[in-house]
Amino acid sequence: MSKIIIRPYDAHTFQTLSGSGLPPVLARIYAARGIENRAQLETELTHLIPFGQLKNITATAALLADAIAAKKRLLIIADYDSDGATACATGMRILRKFGAIVDYLVPNRFEYGYGLTPEIVQLAHETKQPDILITVDNGIASVDGVAEANRLGMPVVITDHHLPGDRLPDALTIVNPNQPGCPFPSKNIAGVGVIFYLMLALRAELRQRGAFSAGLPEPNLAAFLDLVALGTVADVVKLDSNNRILVQQGLQRIRKGKACAGINALMQVSRRDVRQISTYELGFMLGPRLNAAGRLDDMSLGIECLITDDKAYAAEIAKQLDELNRQRREIESAMQESALSKLETTLKTCQPDIQNTHSICLFDADWHQGVIGILASRIKDKYHRPVIIFAPGNDGEIKGSGRSISGFHLRDALDLVSKHHPELIRKFGGHAAAAGLTIHGDAFETFRAAFEQVAQTLLTPADLTRVIETDGDLELGDIKLELAETLDRQVWGQGFPQPSFTARFYVESQRIVGEKHLKLKLRKLHAASAADAAQAARKSAETYDGILFFHNDPLPDVIDAVYRLQINEYNGKTSLQFLLEHWFHADNPVTGDAH
């Protein structure tokens, strides 16, 4: 079941924003996202939270400055997703500017799994022989890995943003806004943002030591915000005011042609114009291509794309990443078909229907470990349940990747399962919306039952109803290309959603384009019921172009729809288009099933 609601907003805040010069429609949109004054919409770098508020950052910067001066060998240990790759590239590029001797190592997920494991520490010791390890986007839960590094004489600097476990690793130092006692107000910063902040602190430390007056050029760290923007959006962290500044500044650099060779190459294989880049391209075009390396191959390929200055080399790697992403989509499509079939069979044999389950756990011996996270997200979106998808691991283990819904903290739920069944989960980690775990292959059914029991305890029927939030209706005078262009220039994403609107439409015409999409002509209605639609349609003179992707069955004459304003570019001309996200039969209550 689904329910459409209009995002509430404070009337006084709306009046304040309107009085500051914002058009009423924008004032309403921002007020509904918690913006209280125009200062919160500022995206200049001067409005960033000072780096000194991160616990341990000043001492960590001094430690790294000492290491650089002593010509010690630094080794970055990266995660194998987009956040980890961009964090690694940010650290590599800036540390080299600071004169550091630095290299990187990224675990292959199929051989070593996630994070600073004892095995990856051994590999680092044998192949790189570093003096100091620096983790990016991982490490806060690597108690055993840090212990092994200490035993081998390689102290560890941890930079991470994930939630810590009950025990912190015995690292040389930890920079993580989510560690106990850290006052940094933005707990949503991505791993790439944490290493960028550490580099800001390191530059300040080197500046204080006079390093830049002794022949070392002082770099402009804003030049690396293209990487920070990509990693922040691709990791789907909440876009609070601090993250919006980082992303907006990065986007501006990319639009001005100042991105690194790798990002430009990824834009080119995505057939996108860098001058028009938005958070959509970062999250749905560049991020998946970068992630494909870690999912199907080795994320070293993605990191190399981001750290090279050779345009031809970057273009060559980007083509490989594009091909890997195509393969990933094919694998994902086959797995999704298999998963839906398996789910249907499971529900028939175990439960009468999906409404009686609070969670979904699926396993198949033929599924690909690198794609289970995406599959979990797809199934979660379809059924609005917390989902964990398992695939074969090593040594009789199976590995799960989970995605959750609002109101169900996935990592905390796994912690509860672990406490109720101490031997069931071998290891787990993550945060509220996503998590990973490893169990023994024979324990799948036991885990599924235990996870369902926790879900039934924590989730209410209201939690299991999909809520589609919108910004209400638009006045006819507000429906203009200029509004679409204004909205397109803003930074939208997780926790700061792109505006969507609701209306009743008369479907004047519809035709299939591209074999699987509906191109529409719509008239906006104000009729109380679908029965009045024909008469209302004749009174409504204005028609609007619309598009409904991945749907080729005809729509009824009258629909209630949730839509976004979109800029349609065709033959060098731009026009306004309604992108339909959900639609309902107009005679049905909005609490029915959404399409």
- The yes-or-no verdict on residue 96 having pLDDT over 80 is yes
Q: Rounded mean pLDDT of 309-337?
A: 95
Q: What is the pTM of this model?
A: 0.88
- Render pLDDT for 478-506 as a digit per residue (tens, 0 to 9): 999 999 999 988 999 999 999 999 999 99
Distance from chain centroid for Cα 32 = 22
Helix (H) or strand (E) holding 417: helix 410-420
- Render pLDDT for 238-259 as a digit per residue (tens, 0 to 9): 999 999 999 999 999 999 999 9
pLDDT at residue 572, rounded to an integer: 79
- Render pLDDT for 184-219 as a digit per residue (tens, 0 to 9): 999 999 999 999 999 999 999 999 999 998 788 999
Helix (H) or strand (E) holding 125: helix 118-127
pLDDT at residue 542, rounded to an integer: 85
pLDDT at residue 289, rounded to an integer: 96
* 560-to-358, 428, 446, 503, 549 alpha-carbon distances in Å: 29, 43, 43, 6, 16
Q: For the chain, which domains are there?
A: 47-322 (3.90.1640.30), 331-464 (3.10.310.30), 470-585 (2.40.50.460)
Band the pLDDT of 532: cuts 50, 70, 90.
Answer: low
- The yes-or-no verdict on residue 176 having pLDDT over 90 is yes
Helix (H) or strand (E) holding 503: strand 501-513
Q: Distance (Å, rounded) from C-alpha 504 to C-alpha 551?
A: 19
| 573-594 burial code (b ≥16 CB/10 A, e <16) | eeebbbebbbbbebeeebeeeb
Distance from chain centroid for Cα 67 = 33
Band the pLDDT of 593: cuts 50, 70, 90.
Answer: low
- Render pLDDT for 255-270 as a digit per residue (tens, 0 to 9): 999 999 999 999 999 9
Helix (H) or strand (E) holding 234: helix 225-234
Band the pLDDT of 592: cuts 50, 70, 90.
Answer: very low
* 3-class DSSP assignment, residue 306: helix
- The yes-or-no verdict on residue 73 having pLDDT over 60 is yes
Burial status of residue 346 (CB atoms within 10 A of its CB: 0-12, 13-18, 19 or more): middle
